[in-house]
């Protein structure tokens, strides 16, 4: 009986030792597997990128970046752009793309005007008004302000101060001047040796060598000079052919 109990006890001890041995082998195998994984330098876990690094590395597209005060590169780029904009090449390009023409100085388009005034041509009136003193080169007429009779090489046309005075025909401004008798005046070359003089003007709108179209404003009616103080505000208008005064009414519309 004692022998059976002893044998049974030995068998149980053997089974316990066998189980412990198997557990030891399994544990050793797990340690080896983990060590092999660490030895490869790669973690078996998924690495989550640092959110701070992601935000810092995310950049704005270059086209939409705004220069920040204190940024030397941005300041340098802005300076270079300003220098390029001020360069003669950039200025010439801008003028080519969008030419700026001042009023009254665009002669290129007016050069196509035909200056072909002749004996059959009819002019517009430089200003609408009554003729105070008529043309008279063959006989004398009375000038109230001067209180004398003398010849008149042109027309003295009544006009209110500041009324626009226009070119009677297509012409080129031959001369701009002033004298004490007819004040500020404009001489127009209308072609074929025909010229016209418009006097008693102010605030002239044209310059010498400028081409003007019929009806274009030359200036405005001025206060009369001392030679016409009694007659009142007016426009002195003279027409010449080959430097000889002729009757303007023969060519008026």
Give the least confident one: 44-48, 76-80, 121-125. Answer: 44-48
- CB distance 167 to 215 below 8 Å: yes
Give domain limits for the chain.
131-251
**What's the predicted TM-score (pTM) here?**
0.58
HSE-CB for 226 with a 13 A CA cutoff: 2
- 149 SS3 class: strand
Half-sphere exposure of 68 (CA within 13 A, CB side): 3
Contact (Cβ atoms closer than 8 angstroms) between residue 62 and residue 73? no
Confidence band, pLDDT 50/70/90 cuts, at residue 48: very low
pLDDT digits (tens, 9 = 90+) for 188-234: 999 999 999 999 999 999 999 999 999 999 999 999 999 999 999 99
At residue 221, the 3 state secondary structure works out as strand
Fold of 131-251: Glucose Permease (Domain IIA) (2.70.70)
Q: Between β-strands 171-179 and 234-241, what pairing exists: parallel, antiparallel or unpaired? A: unpaired
| CA pair distance 55, 51, nearest whole angstrom | 6
Does residue 220 sit in helix, strand or coil?
A: strand
- Report phi then psi at 69, rounded to 5: -60, 135
pLDDT of residue 62: 47
């Amino acid at each position: 009986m004692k022998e059976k109990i002893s044998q049974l006890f030995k068998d149980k001890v053997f089974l316990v030792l066998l189980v412990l041995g198997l557990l030891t082998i399994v544990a050793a195998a797990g340690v080896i597997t983990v060590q092999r994984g660490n030895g490869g330098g790669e973690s078996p876990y998924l690495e989550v990128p640092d959110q701070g690094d992601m935000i810092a590395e995310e950049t704005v597209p270059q086209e939409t970046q705004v220069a920040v005060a204190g940024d030397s590169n941005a300041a340098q780029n802005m300076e270079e752009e300003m220098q390029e904009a001020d360069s003669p090449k950039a200025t010439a390009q801008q003028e080519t793309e969008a030419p700026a023409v001042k009023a009254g100085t665009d002669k290129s388009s007016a050069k196509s005007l035909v200056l072909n005034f002749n004996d059959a041509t009819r002019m517009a009136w430089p200003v609408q008004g009554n003729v105070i003193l008529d043309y008279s080169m063959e006989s004398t007429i009375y000038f109230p302000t001067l209180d004398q009779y003398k010849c008149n090489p042109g027309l003295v046309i009544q006009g209110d101060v500041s009324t626009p005075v226009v070119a009677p025909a297509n012409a080129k401004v031959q001369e701009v001047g002033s004298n004490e008798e007819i004040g500020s005046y404009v001489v127009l070359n209308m072609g074929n040796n025909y010229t016209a003089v418009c006097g008693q003007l102010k605030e002239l709108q044209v310059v010498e060598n400028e081409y003007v179209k019929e009806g274009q404003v030359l200036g405005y009616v001025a206060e009369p000079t001392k030679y016409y103080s009694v007659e009142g505000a007016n426009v002195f208008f003279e027409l010449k052919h080959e430097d000889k005064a002729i009757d303007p009414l023969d060519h008026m519309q």
